[in-house]
Every structure is written in C-alpha cells, then in structure tokens.
Structure 1
Amino acid sequence: MHVSSLGKTVTSTPPVATRVTRAGWRDPRLWIGLLIVAGSVVLGARLLAAADDAVPVWAVVDDHGVGAPIGADDVVAVRVRFADDAELDRYLPADDPLPADIVLSRGIGGGELLPRAAIDTAQDVGTVEVPVDLEPGRVPPTVDAGSVVDVWVGGGRDTGAEPDLFHVTVVAAPPVEESFAVTGTRQLVLAIDPADVGTFLAELDGKDDPVVRIVRVP
C-alpha cells in the first residue's frame, strides 16, 4: 500500500510467482525422444554389422583379353557382400596374395571381379604367342600388356584388297624407347587363337609389302 501524488491510498497486489513444471515420466514427449534415440542406435548397429559382412576380393582395373597376364598392378581390392560361402569361393580373396604367373582364359572387363574360373597358366590357356615387329606410328601409345586390340593386315596401298582383321590380346609390349632403340620398330607379342595362327602368319608372309596396323578396342 502507498499514497499517490493525489493523496489517494492505492493498494498494490504482488505478482504471482510462476513455477516451472518438470516433465514427468508420464510425459509422452519424453518417451518419443527415447524411442528415437533407441531406433538410431539399433539402425547404426545394423549398418555396422552389414559392413562387417563385406569381404575384400580382387577386381581387374582395365579390360583384359584372353591370354593377358595378370599381376599386382592389374588388380585392386574391393569389398563385396556375398550371399553365401559358395558364391565367395568363386573369386580370389584379396586377403591372399595374387597367384604368380597367371593369365586369363577368357576376357574380363574393367571393374569386374576376378573369378577363379577365368585364370590359368600361360601353358594351359590355349593361345599361341606370336611376336610382331611394327612401325611405332602404327601402334597406339596406350597399347600395353593386357590390351585387347584389332590387328589389320593389308597388302599395301596398290593392291586394292580388303585388309584382314584379327581380334587378339597383347601379352607383352616392351616400352617404345627400349624396343625402338634395338630394332627401329616396336615389338608386340600377341596371344592368338591356335585356329587363327596359320592364317595370321600366312597373311604376314604371303604379302610382298604387308602393312600391319594396331587398333585398340575401346
């Protein structure tokens, strides 16, 4: 109570204190929050468990054809989940070193897993290695061991005959500088199907002025 400037007595009412009410265990918002946290923990655990099921296996980096040698530089380890152990056994695990001196018994595309059924030794792969000396300008600089190429064999510009085409794999390709310094040409070793070897050599030896050109298959 106090006296105003006009001489009147004014009675003041003190403000009512507001109390903060704490959320009890019956508050549904608390249970919803707990459910969200629990769900996140369960989901995270399942994701981690699924990641642990993946195993590393070897995959080839680039395209390789029949007879191509496969070494450590040609593969990369990738993690894959398999449905069962039988499916996993079809491929080479990256936990183990890559077997030495292996070649492909069939073509494998870049990024594909390396199956056990697609590897063999050079003696058993079923192709014949044929060396060919070529002018450096007739070989793309990107051609290397493992490249799949088309070999065009023509008889020169004046023959008018259509060139013969052979689809083969390069199994060895010395560096341009090394090969050219010795012979003035670049040598490639080609893996050719035994059924095509006779025709291939006959085309090279039977033309007076054979022209051989390498075209890399994309």
Structure 2
Amino acid sequence: MVPPATRASRPGWRDPRLWIGIAIVAVSVVVGARVLASADDTVQVWVLADDAAQGQQLSEADLEVRRVRFADDADLDRYFTADDVLPDDLTLDRPVGAGELLPRSAVADGGGDDGVVVSVGVSPLTVPDSLVEGSQVDVYVLPGAGGGRPQADGPALTGVRVVSVAALDDSLATGSEAKVDLAVAPGDVEGFYAVLGASDTPTVRLSVVGP
C-alpha cells in the first residue's frame, strides 16, 4: 500500500525558525551600518579653489569643501572645517595655493590677533626643526660682533606667530640668512625695531613655545 503524499507547509508565525531568521537579518543590518559609519572617519574642510595672495580677502566663493582624513585630531585644529563659522574679514596673512587646506594660521582673524607682519633674518643652522608656519615663538636679539646694547633680560618678543618660513635648504646652500615672517602686535613693533637697531649686526634667535 502506497502511503499518502505529504505537502511541505510554510512555517507559521509561531515557528521559532522564522523568528531566528528575522533576528539574524536584523543583527546583520545593524552591524553592517556600524561598520560603514566607522569606516568613514573623514572630515569636511575648506580648501582654496585658486591661488590667493597675501592680503587678499576671501569669501566662500573662493573656497571649496573637501573630505580629508586626519591621523591626529590636533592636525584638524589647525584648519577651518566646513562646520566652522568663517571670519567676516577673511584676509590672508600669507599666500595660499590652489587646493591647499585653509589654515587658521594664514588668516588674520583666525590667529586671534591683527599682528603686523615683521620679517627677520635668522641663521638656518639655528632654526628649530619644529618651526613651521603657525608656530608660536619667543624672539631673542643678541648683539653682533660689533657690540652694542644687549636686549633686556629675556626675549624681545614672546609668543608671536610665525606667518611664513623661507626655504631653509636654499639658505643653507648659499650661506645666507633664512627669512621668517612674524605677526607682531602693533604695540610691540616699535620697541622690537629699537632693540634691533641697538646693535650694528644683531643676531636673531627663535625659540618655539607652541604649535
């Protein structure tokens, strides 16, 4: 006698296999979303659309937004992100090339002061390795071989911002001084030049005190 054929029936909503399958799918979706979110750790920052000169005033029309990944959060603090409110008077203290990130150190208002740009010559052999654009430095003035009145105890300027640093390799090759531009508070400029003028051949030394 041939046994009657049985039909496979679909699992009902009470079937535990159905709920196990739904749980697996839900967990997979959640885990996948978290993996994708953690993989995108880039930040939107402002970059220059075209070359911009020192003293040029910028607007958002001169900028573009680009996604960048920073290895260190401290590096991100040096630039303007797309979420930052840009200064109303967005004027550059130094030239910035097309495609470069917009650094806070290159913007007058971004540095927290309206310093006067003062250029000094320093021996490339004495420039600290950590000296970069945006560094905070103390400036010491020493009398040269011709003598002269030494500066008062301590630095002639403290905590001034480095606006730009000339190519040190070129200065080393030619034996000339390297040019460093500093953003000096307006009230300190006259006194600083007075210290420089007290010696026929003053020597300038820079000491990095902050990023």
TM-score if structure 2 supplies the norm length? 0.54
Q: Does 1:117 align with 2:86?
A: yes
Structure 2 contact 48–64 (Cα < 8 Å) conserved = no
Which of 195, 207, 211 is the aligned partner of 1:215? 207
Q: Percent identity?
A: 25
What's the RMSD between the two structures over aligned residues?
4.4
Equivalences, count: 157
Q: Structure 1 stretches (4+) deviating beyond 6 angstroms?
A: 48-51
Q: Which of 19, 24, 37 lines up with 1:37 in the alignment?
A: 24
The runs of 5 or more residues in structure 1 that have no matched partner are: 1-21, 60-69, 73-88, 97-108
* Partners of 2:121 and 2:204 within 8 A in 1: no
Distance in 1, Cα, partners of 2:135 & 2:185: 16
2:138 to 140, 143, 150: 150
Alignment of 1:189-208 (within 5 A): 189-207=181-199
Q: 1:163 aligns with which of 154, 157, 166?
A: 154
Matches within 5 A, 1:59-208: 94-95=65-66, 110-112=75-77, 114=80, 115-117=84-86, 120-122=90-92, 125=108, 126-155=114-143, 161-164=152-155, 165-181=157-173, 184-207=176-199
Counterparts of 2:201 and 2:154 in 1: how far apart (Å)?
A: 12
Greater radius of gyration (CA): 1
The alignment's TM-score, normalised by the length of structure 1, stands at: 0.52
Against the structure 1 CA distance between its residues 29 and 128, is the aligned structure 2 distance closer, same or farther, given a 3 Å change threshold? same
Return the alpha-carbon distance in structure 2 between the equivalents of residues 168 and 153 of structure 1: 14
CA distance in 1, matches of 2:36, 2:174: 58
Distance 1:172 1:154, change over 3 A: same
- Unpaired runs of 5+ residues, structure 2, are 1-8, 50-59, 68-73, 94-106, 109-113
Instruction: For 2:48 and 2:17, locate their aligned partners in 1 and report how far apart those are by CA, in whole Å.
Output: 60
